[in-house]
Every structure is written in C-alpha cells, then in structure tokens.
C-alpha cells in the first residue's frame, strides 16, 4: 500500500512509538481538555461516501511542538460515520476501536488510549515526507476501513480540531460511552458460555491478551462483552475473537479452562493461567492502554486505584505514569493490575481479594465518579483521597479514624 500517500501504511508500523525528540505535533492527550473519538452507524442516505471533512485548523496552520517552548498539543474529535446492510449499533464500539489499529499502521503516526482519552502523535519524519493535512489521515482511515472491514458499505470521516466544536460534541460522545457501559451491566459471567479475547495491543505488548467477559470490560475500557460479540461476528479473522469459557476451575478467583487455554496460546508461552477476579497469583496481563491501575499497598494490606488523568503522586508516592511504565508491556504483575474503570462497578472486581471493600485510596475525581458504587457499600466516607492523606502513615490514621471495613476485618 505505497504511493498514494506521503507515507507507507502497514502492520509493520504498529508498535512504532513517537517520543518527544521525534514529535512534530500531537492531538488529544493529557495536555488538552477536549478530545474524543466516536463511530456511529447511520443509514446510507445520511452518509456521503468517502467524504473527509476537517473542521478547524489543519496541521499546516498549527504551531508544531518545540523542544524549548513546548506546545504543539491540540484538541481533537474524530467522527467515523458508517453504513452497511449488516451493520447495527452493536458494531459501533468495534469500528471505533479500529481507529487505534489503523492510526498505528501509518508510518510516523502513534495512537494511544481510546474514547475521551485519545492521544495521537505525528513524527517529524512524517511531516518532512510531506504529510501536512489531516485530510490525508481521514483518507487513509477510509481506505483501511473499506479494505479491512467489507461490512462497511459507506463511510465518511470528520476530524475536528476547533476547540469549541470539540467541546460542543464531546458530551454526546460521553453519553454514548456511558450507554454502552450501562448495557453491559445487565449480564453476568454465569449467564454466558463464551468470553471474548482481544490482541489488538500486542503490537506494543506482545504477551498481552484482553479477556473480555460480561463482568470484565477490557483494560482500555473501550470494549465490553457485547462489543466483543459484535466484533467476532463482523470479522471472525480479526483481532477480537470468541473464547469458549470451558470449565469453571475457581469461581471466586475467576479461573476458567477456556481463558487459560487462550492465555497459553497467545502469550508467547509466558503464561498458562489467568485469574479474572484477582490481582494476585495469576492476575490479568496489563498492556499499556489501561484506564487505571489497581495497586497494592502492603502497609495496610489493601489497594489504591489511580487513573490516567490523575497527575499527582498517589499515596505511595508514585505517579500513574511511573506505575504504568512498570506495569505495562503485557506482564502479569501481582499487586498491579491495569484495568478499565468500569470494572469498579463490576460485582466481580477483584472479588477474590475482597472486592471494592478492599479499596482504601482513590483520586478525588474518581471517588466522585464512582460515588454511587461506593455509597452502595457504605464506603464513600471511608476511602481516602489526595485531599485527606499525603502518605501511608496518614492513610493508616485516616482508615482507623473512619473505621474502614477492610481494616476492621469486616470484609
Ligand atoms: S486494551 Fe485489550 S481490548 Fe483494548 S484494544 Fe488493547 S488488547 Fe484490545
């Protein structure tokens, strides 16, 4: 696939990381407040096939990143609208997640995260080769979507960099993400005999496989069980596939013979067991796209959770990015679990270790976001945040003072 565009395209570029030294410009990421990507299934008459629209300044209009002055980070909204006789709403999350894979297939482009955390970088070499417009990015998306997903009969792509417009459209995207998560809460692992696996992140984390069950959303938070089912149906040869659940080996730890078999098959021989509901012994592998990390705090024999947006130090003195660096790459690390945030609402969230009742520290932001789940278990006032405690000694005092149920041995 060479010649039509300024850069090459192919799976060999997945895994290419663009660091600051090589950064020309970035869209989304932690330095901008508005960013999202959203796929929507529409009827054919709502779509102008192969149309690419850019709303806002293009690459050539924007200041690139400067090593001394910084900058070069801009808001982004990516809308992929598709139509096809066999497509329904179930396919939206899967089509949206392909933005990750397709961007990473472009020489000189790097895509991280998902949904409202999307973070895209373009390299200096890519710019030097003449890649100067987001229109080209949109055209490449259209080429890849139509060639890799024949179920798509019509597609249009809109890339928005105008901050006001991104801010205006983002609440709708957040509503769509919430509705997807809400739907997945209606089903439990006991109700199904098929789980789903995803290896999309193996380009960065070669031993990682996400195992997606009704009670376990993917690490990236972008693919739930319904999405996995839709993906496996649409593209049976693709990176998301069905896993027969097999025998229940341990219902509390979440060990299933089908999940173990796929772990052995897809982890380059590194692992042959996985506990879906525990952070110990054989925890799920962590890629690099996880929305949050569940981390063990030995002094209180309990866990904290920190999410990607939290910039400060956690109660153990480590930041999210430091922990992410140590925990990513597709490893099983006891006491460090990359996770999708929706997991905090799952009835099976680290259930073998005590579940939500074993969480003692959360960033304030996250505590508010999950207030209903914490209140339902009487934990809301008992979990510390960065405003309450600065270190583990203060945490111990806080937990004793508030009577956290885990420390009182009530769990
Ligand atoms: S985090 Fe997991 S589910 Fe999400 S894209 Fe990566 S491998 Fe797939």
187 is written with which tokens? 């089903």
Cβ of 99 below 6 Å from ligand 1: no
138 is written with which tokens? 């949109």
Do residues 279 and 248 share a domain?
yes
Cβ atoms 173, 118 nearer than 8 A: no
The pLDDT of residue 352 is 98
Among 135, 152, 184, where does a domain finish? 184
Do residues 168 and 278 share a domain?
no
In a domain, 407, yes or no: no
Number of domains within the chain: 2
Q: What does the alpha-carbon distance between residue 188 and residue 213 come to, in Å, rounded to a whole number?
A: 8
| CA 410 / ligand 1 centre spacing (Å) | 35
Cβ of 219 below 6 Å from ligand 1: yes
Using the atom order of ligand 1, give the atom closest to the CA of residue 240. 8
pTM score of the predicted model: 0.83
| CA 46 / ligand 1 centre spacing (Å) | 30
In a domain, 244, yes or no: yes
The pLDDT of residue 80 is 98
Among 184, 217, 247, where does a domain finish? 184
Do residues 301 and 160 share a domain?
no
Mutate to test the pocket of ligand 1, among 15, 94, 96, 97 (most ligand atoms within 8 A of CB): 97
For strands 119-123 and 210-212, give the pairing. unpaired
371 is written with which tokens? 């207030």
In a domain, 222, yes or no: yes
- Give residue for tokens 């690390």: 333
Longest dimension (CA), the chain: 67
Do residues 135 and 213 share a domain?
no
Q: What does the alpha-carbon distance between residue 49 and residue 157 come to, in Å, rounded to a whole number?
A: 9
Q: Which residues contact 13 (CB under 8 A, 6 or more apart)?
A: 104, 105, 106, 107, 108, 109
Do residues 158 and 171 share a domain?
yes
Do residues 234 and 280 share a domain?
yes
For strands 76-83 and 154-160, give the pairing. antiparallel
Cβ of 114 below 6 Å from ligand 1: no
Buried b (16+ CB within 10 A) or exposed e, 62-90: beebeeeeeebbbbbbbbbbbbbeebeeb
Using the atom order of ligand 1, give the atom closest to the CA of residue 219. 1
Do residues 245 and 102 share a domain?
no
Cβ of 112 below 6 Å from ligand 1: no
* Residue range(s) defining the domain that contains residue 337: 189-402
In a domain, 3, yes or no: no
372 is written with which tokens? 């209903």
Q: What does the alpha-carbon distance between residue 302 and residue 296 come to, in Å, rounded to a whole number?
A: 6
Closest residue by Cα to residue 307 from 292, 295, 296: 292
In a domain, 369, yes or no: yes
Using the atom order of ligand 1, give the atom closest to the CA of residue 97. 5
Q: What does the alpha-carbon distance between residue 19 and residue 361 come to, in Å, rounded to a whole number?
A: 32
Burial class of residue 335, CB neighbours in 10 A (0-12, 13-18, 19+): middle
Which residue has the CA at smallest separation from atom 5 of ligand 1?
A: 200
H, E, C per residue of the chain: CCCCCCCCECHHHCCCCCCHHHEEEEEECCCCCCEEEEEEECCHHHCCCCCEEEECCCHHHCCCCECCCECCEECEEEEEEEECCCCCHHHHHHHHHHHHHHHHCECCEEEECCHHHCEEEEEHHHHHCCCCCHHHHHHHHHHHHHHHCCCCCEEEEEEECCHHHHHHHHHHHHHHHHHHHHHHCCCCHHHCCEEEEECHHHHCCCCCCEEEECCECCCCCCCCHHHHHHHHHHCCCCCEEEEECCCEEECCCCEEHHHHHHHHHHCCCCCCCCECCCCCCCECCECCCCCEEEEEEHHHCEEEEEECCCCCECCCCCEHHHHHHHHCCCECECCEEEECHHHHHCCCCCHHHCHHHHEEECCHHHHHHCHHHHHHCCCHHHCECCCCCCCHHHHHHHHHHHCCCCCCCCC
In a domain, 309, yes or no: yes
Q: What does the alpha-carbon distance between residue 2 and residue 200 come to, in Å, rounded to a whole number?
A: 23
Cβ of 93 below 6 Å from ligand 1: no
The pLDDT of residue 2 is 43
Burial class of residue 7, CB neighbours in 10 A (0-12, 13-18, 19+): buried
Burial class of residue 214, CB neighbours in 10 A (0-12, 13-18, 19+): buried
Cβ of 218 below 6 Å from ligand 1: yes
199 is written with which tokens? 């290896």
Q: Any bridge partners for residue 9, and if so which? A: 106
Do residues 180 and 286 share a domain?
no
Do residues 200 and 177 share a domain?
no
Q: What does the alpha-carbon distance between residue 355 and residue 363 come to, in Å, rounded to a whole number?
A: 18
In a domain, 408, yes or no: no
What CATH number should be reported for the domain holding residue 236?
3.40.970.20
80 Rama sector, left if φ>0, alpha if ψ -120 to 50, beta otherwise: beta
In order along its 411 residues, the chain shows pLDDT tens digits of 445 899 999 999 988 899 999 999 999 998 999 999 999 999 999 999 999 999 999 999 999 999 899 899 999 999 999 999 999 998 999 999 999 999 999 999 999 999 999 999 999 999 999 999 999 999 999 999 999 999 999 999 999 999 999 999 999 999 999 999 888 888 999 999 999 999 989 988 999 999 999 999 999 998 999 999 999 988 888 899 999 999 999 999 999 999 999 999 999 999 999 999 999 999 999 998 899 999 999 999 999 999 998 999 999 999 999 999 998 899 999 999 999 999 999 999 999 999 999 999 999 999 999 999 999 999 999 999 999 999 999 999 999 999 999 988 877
């Amino acid at each position: 696939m060479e010649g039509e565009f300024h850069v090459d395209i192919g799976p060999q570029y997945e895994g290419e990381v663009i660091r600051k030294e090589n950064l020309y410009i970035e869209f989304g990421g932690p330095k901008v407040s508005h960013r999202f990507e959203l796929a929507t299934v529409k009827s054919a008459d709502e779509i102008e096939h192969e149309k690419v629209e850019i709303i806002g300044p293009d690459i050539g209009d924007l200041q690139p990143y400067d090593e001394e002055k910084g900058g070069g980070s801009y808001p982004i909204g990516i809308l992929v609208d598709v139509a096809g006789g066999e497509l329904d709403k179930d396919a939206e999350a899967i089509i949206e997640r392909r933005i990750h894979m397709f961007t990473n297939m472009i020489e000189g482009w790097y895509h991280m995260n998902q949904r409202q955390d999307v973070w895209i970088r373009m390299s200096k070499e890519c710019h030097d080769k003449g890649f100067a417009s987001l229109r080209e990015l949109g055209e490449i998306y259209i080429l890849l979507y139509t060639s890799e997903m024949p179920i798509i009969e019509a597609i249009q792509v809109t890339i928005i960099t105008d901050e006001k417009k991104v801010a205006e459209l983002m609440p709708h995207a957040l509503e769509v993400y919430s509705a997807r998560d809400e739907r997945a809460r209606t089903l439990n692992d006991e109700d199904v005999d098929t789980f789903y696996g995803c290896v999309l992140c193996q380009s960065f984390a070669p031993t990682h496989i996400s195992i997606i069950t009704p009670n376990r959303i993917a690490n990236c938070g972008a693919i739930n069980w319904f999405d996995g089912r839709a993906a496996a149906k649409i593209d049976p040869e693709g990176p998301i596939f069905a896993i027969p659940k097999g025998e229940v080996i341990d219902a509390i730890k979440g060990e299933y013979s089908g999940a173990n078999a796929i772990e052995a098959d897809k982890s380059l021989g590194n692992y042959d067991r996985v506990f879906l509901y525990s952070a110990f012994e054989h925890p799920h592998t962590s890629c690099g796209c996880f929305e949050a990390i569940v981390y063990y705090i030995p002094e209180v024999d309990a866990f904290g959770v920190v999410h990607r947006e939290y910039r400060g130090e956690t109660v153990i003195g480590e930041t999210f990015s430091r922990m992410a660096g140590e925990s990513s790459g597709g490893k099983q690390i006891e006491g460090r679990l990359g996770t999708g945030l929706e997991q905090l609402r799952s009835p099976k969230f680290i259930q073998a270790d005590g579940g939500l009742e074993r969480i003692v520290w959360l960033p304030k932001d996250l505590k508010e976001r999950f207030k209903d789940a914490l209140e339902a278990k009487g934990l809301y006032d008992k979990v510390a945040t960065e405003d309450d405690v600065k270190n583990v000694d203060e945490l111990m005092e806080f937990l004793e003072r508030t009577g956290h149920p885990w420390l009182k041995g009530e769990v």
